[in-house]
Amino acid sequence: MSDLIRQAAALVDEARSVTVLTGAGISTDSGIPDFRGPQGVWTKDPAAEKASNIRHYVSDPELRRRNWERRARGELWRDVVPNNGHRALVSLEARLKLHTLVTQNVDELHQRAGSSPDLVVEIHGTTRKVGCLSCDWGDDMEVVLARVRAGEADPDCPQCGGILKSATVSFGQSLDPQALRRAEKAAKECDLFLAIGSSLSVYPINETVSMAKIAGAKLVILNAEPTPYDRWADVIIRDSIGDVLPQIVGAEPATA
Ligand code: ZN
């Protein structure tokens, strides 16, 4: 075990209340590409980033039809399963140290690994659910995909006829204010903040890092690339999340 991992593990041992922020890096081992890293989807294909903008989604029915068709065919994130990184955070919860698990990911892999849904804040929403852009209607993604498979190219809201979209926060959409408040509160109340697999470049959730430090928490950053918040960190680790995170949080070595 390296010195940095030992230091981070000691901070976890000493902590009573840990808030975790996860980004795309924790899910890449599950086969979900990250977006902003050197090999990221948007780094290599800026047009894909444009397509995820809410204005394009609303104004371009063809874009929506293609999107629903790809989802219905299972082309987006088929068969993804949680990895050792997700499982390590379940161990942290089992040690009764987890305050809140804030994630920028929309894959629900934390919940599927076994993290309590009550402790997970999905700051950018989830692709496993669908919402109406005009009213409060929502349902599971599979319910809407069944309509697509039955022949509806661009299914509309059963309540108001509005445009449906996966319940993720697209560019140009506001965050759920309640989710953001929970994330900020968790940052201010913890005594250790773990930032895992996030470039910490996305506003405003990245600001929870400095909120935690200003409130007196220790900070561990585990990410492949440098982040704008590295100077705030007590420990910075750049190794593989799936290898390192179980050691940091004291998880049993995974057999799967
Ligand atoms: Zn509606």
User: How much is the pLDDT for 172?
Assistant: 82
In this prediction, residue 254 carries a pLDDT of: 47
Given 86, 99, 110, 124, which residue is catalytic?
Answer: 124
The strand pairing partners of 236, in sequence order, are 221
Ion ligand 1 — residues with CB < 5 Å: 132, 134-135, 137, 157, 159-160, 162
Angle at 89 (CA atoms; ends 52, 40), nearest 5 degrees: 30
Block means of pLDDT (10 residues each) for the chain, 256 residues, are 94 97 92 67 62 85 90 75 96 96 95 97 94 96 95 97 92 90 98 97 94 98 96 96 94 53
CATH dotted code for 3-31+81-124+174-249:
3.40.50.1220
- Classify residue 174 by its DSSP letter: P
Compute the distance from residue 140 Cα to the ligand 1 centre, in Å: 14
| Nearest Cα to Cα of residue 244 among 21, 5, 45 | 5
Contacts of 59 (CB under 8 A, 6+ apart): none
Tell me what pLDDT residue 1 has. Answer: 76
Residue 104 CA, ligand 1 centroid: distance in Å: 25
CATH of 41-76+128-168, one of 3.40.50.300, 3.30.1600.10, 3.40.50.1100, 3.40.50.880: 3.30.1600.10
**Sign (positive or negative) of CA dihedral 200, 83, 119, 71:** positive
Q: Tell me what pLDDT residue 40 has.
A: 64
Pairing of strands 18-22, 138-140: unpaired
User: How remote is the CA of residue 177 from the centroid of ligand 1, in Å?
Assistant: 20
How many Å lie between the centroid of ligand 1 and the Cα of residue 215?
41
Which strands make up the sheet holding 164-168, listed edge to edge? 138-140, 125-132, 164-168
Span from the CA of 146 to the centroid of ligand 1 (angstroms): 18
Going from the Cα of 164 to the center of ligand 1, the distance in angstroms, rounded, reads 8
Please give the model's pTM, rounded to 2 decimal places.
0.88
CB-CB neighbours of 5 under 10 Å: 18
Catalytic site includes residue 56: no
Q: For the chain, give every domain's residue range.
A: 3-31+81-124+174-249, 41-76+128-168
